[in-house]
């Protein structure tokens, strides 16, 4: 049997296994291109391994987060790290290591133009535009993701862009854009904490589609950021860490564009359940298009398997949702697919979509 075809068959099997009730005695049959394999024992073995691996990841993930916080506190007590951001002398503040003032959350009432309001020409959320977006969103409810993207490109290009974290949904939209509008600018919010497996997908996208995904990075490196804050902020205040190293980047990246595509699905979490296909993004002040809003996880992975779309190998290790390395763990059977994000905190969103 051809190894590559067998691997592709396992993709479909693995995704179906994750999508189904693990208590249900189901026998999956899948095609590998070279043979058809019926595998009840493989399913049972995979389920047992998945449970054990998930438990270990949950225990280790919780310990790692607590260890980072305790280690941070111990270093402060021993004087290795400051208990507050360091005030540097003018000589120490030279160049990139210059201490920045604490970032503040930008409210929708800020006087600074952002997003489409800062574009040339600007796109303003007038009553006419909001009515248009509502009408188009309702009309596109029955459209395919490709039709939604085509509408967005025809309506907003060249001021139409896409943000991606290289998740399965994002890779699906990149695949579609490569056929519909390959010149669409695509960017990734590189916090400095992403998995290596995630960043390697950027090279895969360039190799497969000839698309260069731009990495948007914060002004301070991880080392600089943790030094001026006395340690890893994600261990004590993940909301602030997300804003400093992710949301602020999207505010900058969205400036000058009329619309952006997101890869959210309504069935991912309660926060996303009411997401429209098209709507005005009040937080970032431009039009937000969600082509996969009414798709399911099974539909996403079906397309990935049939079209051999590159995807993050961490998804085969119990990570249905992959974010920053310190704040992501594998999930257990039956858990929400975003339960592995910011485990231990009452937080399941970074702030981009809530």
Q: Contact, 187 vs 164, CB < 8 A?
A: yes
Q: Which is nearest to 222 in space by CA: 246, 201, 202, 199?
A: 246
CB atoms within 10 A of CB 78: 8
Q: Tokens 């980047």: give the residue.
A: 249
Residue 60 φ/ψ, nearest 5 degrees: -65, -40
One DSSP character per residue, 96-124 reads GGPPPPPP-PPPTT-SS--GGGGSSS---
What is the rounded distance in angstroms from the CA atom of residue 200 to the CA atom of residue 306? 22
Burial profile 278-288: b = 16 or more Cβ within 10 angstroms, e = fewer: bbbbebbbbbb
Q: Which of 241, 324, 327, 350 is catalytic?
A: 350
Is 350 one of the annotated active-site residues of the chain?
yes
Dig out the tokens for 90 from the structure: 């003018």
What is the rounded distance in angstroms from the CA atom of residue 104 to the CA atom of residue 112? 13
Q: Tokens 């051809």: give the residue.
A: 2
Identify any residues that bridge with 214 across adjacent strands, giving them in sequence order: 187
Task: Please report, to the nearest 10 degrees, the dihedral formed by the alpha carbons of residues 229, 231, 236, 242 taken in order.
Answer: 60
What is the rounded distance in angstroms from the CA atom of residue 57 to the CA atom of residue 37? 30
Contacts for 184 with CB less than 8 Å, ≥ 6 apart: 153, 157, 160, 161, 162, 177
Angle value at C-alpha 120, between 156 and 189, nearest 5 degrees: 65
One DSSP character per residue, 323-345 reads -BGGGB----TTS-TTTTBSTTS
Which positions are annotated as active-site residues? 350
């Amino acid at each position: 049997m051809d190894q590559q075809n067998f691997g592709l068959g396992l993709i479909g099997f693995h995704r179906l296994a994750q999508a189904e009730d693990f208590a249900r005695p189901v026998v999956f049959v899948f095609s590998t291109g070279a043979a058809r394999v019926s595998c009840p024992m493989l399913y049972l073995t995979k389920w047992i391994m998945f449970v054990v691996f998930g438990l270990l990841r949950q225990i280790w993930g919780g310990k790692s987060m607590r260890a980072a916080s305790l280690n941070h506190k111990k270093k402060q007590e021993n004087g290795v790290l400051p208990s507050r951001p360091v005030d540097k002398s003018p000589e120490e503040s030279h160049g990139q290591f210059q201490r920045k003032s604490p970032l503040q959350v930008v409210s929708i009432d800020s006087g600074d133009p952002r997003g489409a309001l800062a574009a040339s020409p600007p796109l303003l959320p007038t009553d006419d535009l909001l009515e248009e977006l509502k009408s188009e969103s309702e009309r596109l409810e029955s459209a395919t993701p490709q039709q939604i993207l085509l509408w967005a490109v025809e309506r907003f290009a060249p001021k139409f862009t896409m943000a991606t974290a290289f998740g399965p949904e994002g890779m699906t939209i990149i695949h579609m854009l490569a056929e519909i509008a390959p010149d669409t600018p695509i960017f990734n919010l590189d916090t400095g904490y992403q998995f290596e497996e995630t960043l390697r997908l950027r090279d895969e996208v360039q190799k497969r589609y000839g698309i260069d995904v731009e990495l948007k990075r914060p002004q301070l490196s991880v080392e600089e950021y943790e030094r001026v804050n006395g340690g890893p902020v994600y261990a004590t205040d993940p909301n602030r860490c997300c804003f400093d190293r992710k949301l602020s980047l999207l505010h900058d990246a969205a400036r000058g564009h009329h619309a952006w595509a997101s890869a959210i699905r309504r069935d991912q979490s309660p926060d996303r359940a009411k997401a429209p296909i098209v709507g005005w993004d009040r937080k970032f002040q431009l039009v937000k298009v969600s082509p996969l809003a009414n798709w399911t996880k099974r539909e996403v992975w079906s397309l990935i398997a049939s079209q051999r779309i590159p995807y993050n190998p961490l998804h085969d290790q119990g990570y249905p949702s992959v974010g920053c390395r310190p704040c992501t763990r594998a999930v257990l059977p039956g858990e929400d697919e975003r339960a592995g994000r910011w485990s231990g905190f009452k937080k399941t969103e970074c702030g981009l979509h809530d």
